[in-house]
Structure 1
Amino acid sequence: MRGDEAKRVCPGINLVQVPVARGKANLNLYRSAGAEVVAILASKGKCERASIDEVYLDLTDAAKEMLLQAPPDSPEGIFMEAAKSNILGLPADASEKEKNVRAWLCQSEADYQDKLLACGAIIVAQLRVRVLEETQFTCSAGIAHNKMLAKLVSGMYKPAQQTVVPSSSVQDLLASLPVKKMKQLGGKLGSSLQDDLGVETIGDLLSFTEEKLQEQYGVNTGFDHIIYIPTTI
């Protein structure tokens, strides 16, 4: 919503004007603040700036290293620390959070990738504490196996919280999500999916095979599969 529109809706609102340079908003102050945060995040993985206040962080190697160092059969620290995150697909009862995380990671179908996500969540929590202590900024984060999912949930619980997307929760998360709400599908590709295939939600899209989609849009129209944590300042 633009400032003049906000004034019409709420006449008493006080709008703050950012510094201006050459007729445009001067965002150097925000860029400098973002650089402080990136310097901290980069201590644990490769950072990719997505916007002035958002970063993708690849924690794959750091998560693998943490998992290697955990006791093989009783990763108590992982249970307790991962329980501090919002984990999609688990019961929301706060009093049973650690128990639910333990059940998730110990179930027979829990795989190596789930445990990597739990380690990623611990690392992100530690980084967010460092950011707060060293810069006074709070961050929200999403932890998932690709950028789209991480971005999608990074703002689900705010402020200053983080959300994990286990592989088993992906289908439910996406089932009712409008195609246009998915990152990278808000433009021409999303419109093409709606027009060509008649889909309205990501759940509709899942009814098509990978081969069908490749036939329609080409093999190169795809996405990566790495643990990414987009951190919103």
Structure 2
Amino acid sequence: MESPRKSKFTYRHLQQPSKYSIDSPLRVIALVDLDAFYAQCETKRLGLSPEQPLAVQQWQSLIAVNYPSRAAGVTRHMTASEAKKLCPNIYLAHVATWSAGSSSWSYSPAGSPPDINTSKACLDPYRAESKKILKILQDLCPNAHTEKASIDESFLDLSRDCYERLLTEYECLRNTSEHGDELLPLPEVKELEWSGSHLVPAKEGEEGEIDWDDIAMSIGADIIKNLRSAVYEQLGYTCSAGIASNKMLAKLGAGYKKPNQQSVVRPCATTSFLSAFEFTKIRNLGGKLGSQIASHFHTTSLQQLLSVTLPQFQALLADDTAVWVYNTLRGHDRSPVLPKSSIKSILSAKSFRQALPAFAAAKEWLQVLIADIGSRLDDEGPGRRPKTLTLHFTAASGGRSNVDHWEARHPLEARRKKSKKSVTI
């Protein structure tokens, strides 16, 4: 009688996702990335069609460009006038601003962008929408570890959710505590449902039979499809996503097919997926370290660097760095998804092209900066107040920045009461 076919994973491996182990071969990590987020926020605020070309303007530069505008050749960091030449019907939405002496931010009338000399850019509207999106992710996946990577990106460790569904849907995986290092049976599945995901292809001969890591990934894809649908249904925003075995691959996977799509990078497809990249596109390899490696080995191709041995990297770099680079180029990333604690500091700043003419003008801008900080503290919720207020300023004569510190002995009066009153300085 033929023995049952076995998986390459053990019962011990199966238990690891329940503890969010970074070494689990059944780990499932996703990155959810809002598509041209600032542009989507402005499209929604203005009640425009998603097909309307739109760019978000900060002074004369574009800081966000929606996909219809990109199709016309408009890119970020172009000037507003350059964008108009390429796409005459583009809608240019300037970010909200604080005005000198004001205690709240506002939007300027269409066609009348604010003056950089008398206004300060405000991103509060986008932060507020970002918080709503994060809440949806956390509410729908309360067991997942969720890490806000930026205002428009969030990592989710779905390992425990996938583990629980594996046990629910596959009876052969239950009661695993006594099996230890015994190999799991192979799943009796001939085809998987990928929830509309783009499946990164593996190299010929590397795919193999469907195993439990594939099934875990397919469950993760289903969870992310539901999350993306919920964000759109509740708030009207589209997002793209990458699902993989670690944060690095999930981040790269989210950009594989955009906008409003999701991609799965299975372990068997990691080598073929990464081989198309320049290694400098990988996080932490795009700066001085990446330049040093590219200069030494005369290439930016990740595929070509796979032939470089660990001792060769160690001859160039510190041992820890060499090991990290060697593993990263092969798609290994052990960084955990860490729910970030409350922010530890808030910065509000304004640069002036010309020196302020008098203390009265400086006082108006101090009111704005403190009102800005107060508004963001209000968003942090009750019970949080600063312990120290630090002021940096540079005299008109130039030279080094001056610094003053104040310790808060009482709840800061400088915080606007109910965000409506200006500050007395």
Q: TM-score under structure 1 normalisation? A: 0.77
Which structure would you say has the larger Rg? Answer: 2
Residue 310 of structure 2 corresponds to residue 207 of structure 1:
no
1:79 aligned residue: 192
SS of residue paired to 1:142: strand
Q: 1:10 to 1:127 in 2, by over 3 A?
A: closer
Q: Which amino acid letter does the alignment assign opposite residue 86 of structure 1? A: H
1:201: how far off? 0.9
Partner Cα separation in structure 2 for residue 210 and residue 62 of structure 1: 36
Partner Cα separation in structure 2 for residue 51 and residue 83 of structure 1: 26
The total of aligned residue pairs comes to 211
Q: Which moved more, 1:16-25 or 1:212-221?
A: 212-221
Partner Cα separation in structure 2 for residue 161 and residue 126 of structure 1: 12
Q: Which amino acid letter does the alignment assign opposite residue 42 of structure 1? A: Q
> Is the contact between residue 49 and residue 56 of structure 1 (CA under 8 Å) also seen in structure 2?
yes
Residue 200 of structure 2 corresponds to residue 88 of structure 1:
yes
1:181 aligned residue: 281
Q: Calculate the aligned-residue CA RMSD, in Å.
A: 2.8
1:46 aligned residue: 145
SS of residue paired to 1:47: strand
1:2: how far off? 2.6
Partner Cα separation in structure 1 for residue 240 and residue 298 of structure 2: 34
Residue 166 of structure 2 corresponds to residue 70 of structure 1:
no
1:55 aligned residue: 154
Residue 168 of structure 2 corresponds to residue 168 of structure 1:
no
2:225 aligned residue: 125
Q: Deviations over 1:172-200 (max 9, x none)?
A: 22213112222222111211110122232
2:127 aligned residue: 31
Q: Which amino acid letter does the alignment assign opposite residue 59 of structure 1? A: L
2:214 aligned residue: 114
SS of residue paired to 1:141: strand
2:95 counterpart (7, 14, 18): 18
1:17: how far off? 0.5
1:86: how far off? 0.8
Partner Cα separation in structure 1 for residue 240 and residue 259 of structure 2: 6
1:124: how far off? 0.7
Q: Which has the higher contact order (CA 8 A, sep 6+)?
A: 1
Q: Deviations over 1:5-25 (max 9, x none)?
A: 424544554311110136443
Q: 1:220 to 1:65 in 2, by over 3 A?
A: farther
Q: Deviations over 1:184-233 (max 9, x none)?
A: 221112111101222321111211234543554345433634797xxxxx
Q: Normalized per residue, which structure has more strand?
A: 2
SS of residue paired to 2:149: strand
1:138: how far off? 1.6
Q: Deviations over 1:20-75 (max 9, x none)?
A: 13644311111111111111212421222222111111112112222222224456
1:158: how far off? 2.2
